[in-house]
Amino acid sequence: MFNRVLITVLVAAGMANEAEAKDIVRSTSIQEQVSILENLMNFGELYATNSKTGNQVKIKTIGEIERLGEELDCKNAEDVKIEFKVASAGSNPLII
Amino acid sequence: MNFSILGVFLGNKCNLECDHCIPRSSISEKGKLSSEEIAKIIEAVEKYKIPMISFTGGEPLLFYRNEIDKIISSLKGELPKIRITTNGTFLKQSNWKDYIPRNVTEIRLSYDTFHMSNLHTSDLMKLLEFCRLSGLGFYIEYILTNPTEMKVITEFPVELRNHIKFDLALRCGRAKDKNKYYNPKHFSIERLRGKCPSIAEGYLLYYQGRGFAICCNNLSETEFVPKESKYFETTSELLQSELYQFLSGISEFSDLALKFDRLEGADSMKCNFCETLLKRRLNNSNEKINA
C-alpha cells in the first residue's frame, strides 16, 4: 500500500511518470521513500476512498497508510483508491 | 483583470552561474530598473490591486536592494505580500540580516547540488530560524535533473525537509545549453490535461529592460516568438496582444496537441510543451504572432 501511495503522489505532483515513480521505489531505501512522501504531502491533500462504498478518508500522516484497508473496511487492497490533489495557488513551481 | 502575482525580474546580474538558470544570469550583466520602469511597476500593482510581488533576477539581495526598497517604499495603502528569491550567498556576510529588505513576507531559496558548494545546511538552518522568529514564509526550491535525485532529501536536517519544494529542470535557458534538463523517455499523456499556469493562476511579469510579459519560462527565452510580440510597455498592450489572447483561449493543451503527431519525452514538461506546440502551430500555419 505504501508503495502505491508513493507512486500515486509522485505522478500527481508532476515529479515523475509511472515508470519513473516505480524506479524511484526500486532504487531508494524505506527511509528515503518515507522522507520523499512526507515532503510531497506538504504540497497537496491525500485521500483514500473505498471504491465500492464511496467512503473516503483524508490521510494526514504516513502512519495512517498501512491501516487504510481496515479504516475503509476494504477486504482487498485493490479496492482502496488513492488520490493526491495538488494545491494550486502558490504551489506552482515556476520561477516567479 | 485579476492578477495574483507580479513577478519582477530585476536584472540578470548574479554571483553564481547555475546550470539550470532560465534567464542565464551571470556576474557580467549590468542592467537595472530605470525610474520609469519602477513607476510602471508601482502603477500596475496599484491599478490591479495585485496581492503579491515576487522579486527575482539575477540575485536580488546582492545586486538589486535599492530597486526593491524603492518599489516597496513607494507603494501606497496596504502593502502586498513580498517574496524574494535568492541564492542565499548573502548569508556568508557577517551583517546578513541587513540584506533582507523591510516588509518582505517570504524568502525562497534556490538550492541544489551546485549551491551546496557555496552554502551549507547550517546556513539554511540559520535562515530558517530567522524566518521563523520574524514570521516570514520560507522555502527551498530544489531543482532536479532526474526525479530519482529526490533521495537527497535525507541529507537535510529533519527541520528543513518540510521546507523543500522539488522541481525538475526544464529544457530552457542554460539547462538547455548544457543539456542538463530533465528528459523523460516518453511523452506523458497527463500533460495534455494541463494548461498554461501563468494564465490559469493570473501571473503578470515585468522584465527589466524589456517590459510586461505573461510567460516567465520558455517563451521569454525562445526566439521564435519575436520580442515585440511578448514584451509590452503597458499592461493594457499586454492584455490586448495576440499572444495573451491566444494563450488565454486554450482551455487544455490537448486542444493544440491533437493536431500534431510526434511528441517527445521532454515535451511532457509543462512549459516545454507549450513552447513545442506554439512553435509547431507557427510552422504549420505560417501564422505570425504579432502584437
Quote ipTM for the complex: 0.85
Is residue B15 one of the residues assigned to a domain? yes
Is residue A95 one of the residues assigned to a domain? no
Is residue A48 one of the residues assigned to a domain? yes
Is residue B44 one of the residues assigned to a domain? yes
Residue type for B135, please?
Answer: G
B5 and A CB contact within 8 Å: yes
3-state helix, strand, coil in chain A (%, to 5): 50, 20, 35
- Say what the pLDDT of residue B250 is: 77
Q: Which domain holds residue B130?
A: 5-285
- Per-residue pLDDT reduced to its tens digit, B224-240: 788 888 899 999 999 99
Q: How distant is the Cα of A73 from the closest Cα of chain B, in angstroms? A: 31
Q: Which domain holds residue A65?
A: 2-86
- Say what the pLDDT of residue B54 is: 96
* Full-model pTM: 0.89
Is residue B291 one of the residues assigned to a domain? no
Is residue B39 one of the residues assigned to a domain? yes
- Say what the pLDDT of residue A17 is: 85
- Distance in angstroms (rounded) separating the CA atoms of residues B270 and B8: 21
pLDDT at A56 over 80: yes
Mean pLDDT estimate for chain B = 88
- Say what the pLDDT of residue A51 is: 84
B185 and A CB contact within 8 Å: yes
Residue type for B85, please?
Answer: T
Q: What percent of chain B has pLDDT over 70?
A: 93
Q: Which residue does chain A place closest to B168, by CA atoms?
A: A15
- Say what the pLDDT of residue A94 is: 62
Model confidence band, residue B41 (pLDDT cutoffs 50, 70, 90): very high
Q: Which of B28, B48, B37, B36 shows the shortest CA–CA distance to B10?
A: B37
Interchain pair A32, B151: CB under 8 A: yes
pLDDT at B269 over 50: yes
- In total, the C-beta contacts within 8 angstroms joining chain A to chain B are 84
CATH number for the domain harbouring residue B113? 3.20.20.70
Is residue A96 one of the residues assigned to a domain? no
- Say what the pLDDT of residue B46 is: 96
Contacts of A20 in chain B (CB under 8 A): 147-148, 184
Model confidence band, residue B284 (pLDDT cutoffs 50, 70, 90): low
The residues near B35 (Cβ < 8 Å, ≥ 6 apart) are none
Total number of domains in chain B: 1
pLDDT at A58 over 60: yes
More confident residue, B166 or B290: B166
- Per-residue pLDDT reduced to its tens digit, B76-134: 989 999 999 999 999 999 999 999 999 999 999 999 878 888 899 999 999 999 999 99
- Say what the pLDDT of residue A68 is: 83
The packing angle between helices B65-74 and B35-48, to 10°, is: 40
- Per-residue pLDDT reduced to its tens digit, A26-48: 999 999 999 999 999 988 999 99
